[in-house]
Structure 1
Amino acid sequence: ALKKQLHINASTLEEIQARSLVVAKNTEQTEAALTALQQQFIALGEQDPDSRLYQRAAEMIQSGASAEEVMHNCDLPLAEVQLLMNIHQPR
């Protein structure tokens, strides 16, 4: 009975060790992904404000916003909005 219990405990310990390795690997992957996201966030914060404005305008156009909506929300002149629409409007 004691040998059987020892065998069960050894098996349980092996299983716990294996799961621990999986958790450690997942933690490393999550930390790497978090680091990458933090770097992207910093890069976005350092972007030129005008480029962020044009990026927002492009996203609005791709989602179907009208020229007037883009002009109003992004404070862009009609000529620039029309150019962006020619480039980014879904076909």
Structure 2
Amino acid sequence: MIFEVLLLLNLAIVFFAIGFILRTRTLQKGRDDSKQKEIDSLCQQNVILRSEIEEVRGGLLSIGKRMLALEATTKELLQNQQELKFVDPDSKMYSRAVKMVELGADLDEIIKECELPRAEAELLISLHQQKS
């Protein structure tokens, strides 16, 4: 009789241990599945972010090329502008007259020094006064 009770007690302990092991494995599998889903999600986000970074890099390269082209165009325009100043003698005269107006020269002085007609000298003085 004691033998039978011990046998039943041992069987109960074995079933309890098997149940505990199965429950632990089920919980661990659930955690593993959850972790795997999280890893998959993070990998997908990583791929998306990498592609977005590549797009930004491409955009920056394009902007850089455009900036270089604009700088070259600006230099060329400035050079052309400088050449035009030296080519047109009348522009020198008008530039000098404008400088004199800015420095406060009077009408007769501008007419004499720059050899401008009176009407043009008056116009320059009038324009300068409107700016101020």
TM-score (norm 2): 0.45
What is the distance in 2 between the residues matched to 1:19 and 1:55?
49
Corresponding residue of 1:56: 95
Aligned alpha-carbon RMSD (Å) = 3.8
In structure 2, runs of 5+ residues without a counterpart are 1-37
Corresponding residue of 2:64: 27
| Residue in structure 1 matching 2:83, options 41, 46, 49 | 46
Correspondence list, 1:1-91, <5 A: 1-49=38-86, 50=89, 53-54=92-93, 56-57=95-96, 60=99, 65=102, 68=105, 77=113, 79-80=115-116, 82=118, 83-86=120-123, 89-90=126-127
Can you list the C-alpha shifts for 1:49-82, whole angstroms capped at 9, x where unaligned? 3355245347548xx636627x98x9x7254274
TM-score (norm 1): 0.60
Write out the 4+ residue segments of structure 1 that deviate beyond 6 Å after TM superposition: none
What is the distance in 1 between the residues matched to 2:122 and 2:103?
9
Higher relative contact order (CA 8 A, sep 6+): 1
Counterpart amino acid of residue 66 in structure 2? Q
C-alpha displacement at 1:16, in angstroms?
Answer: 0.3
In structure 1, runs of 5+ residues without a counterpart are none
C-alpha displacement at 1:20, in angstroms?
Answer: 1.3
Using the aligned pairs only, state the percent identity: 7
Q: Higher helix fraction: Structure 1 or Structure 2?
A: 2
Aligned residues: 87
C-alpha displacement at 1:39, in angstroms?
Answer: 0.6
> In 2 relative to 1, CA 45–79 (structure 1 residues): closer, same or farther, beyond 3 Å?
closer
> In 2 relative to 1, CA 59–32 (structure 1 residues): closer, same or farther, beyond 3 Å?
farther
* Contact 2:96–2:114 under 8 Å retained in 1: no
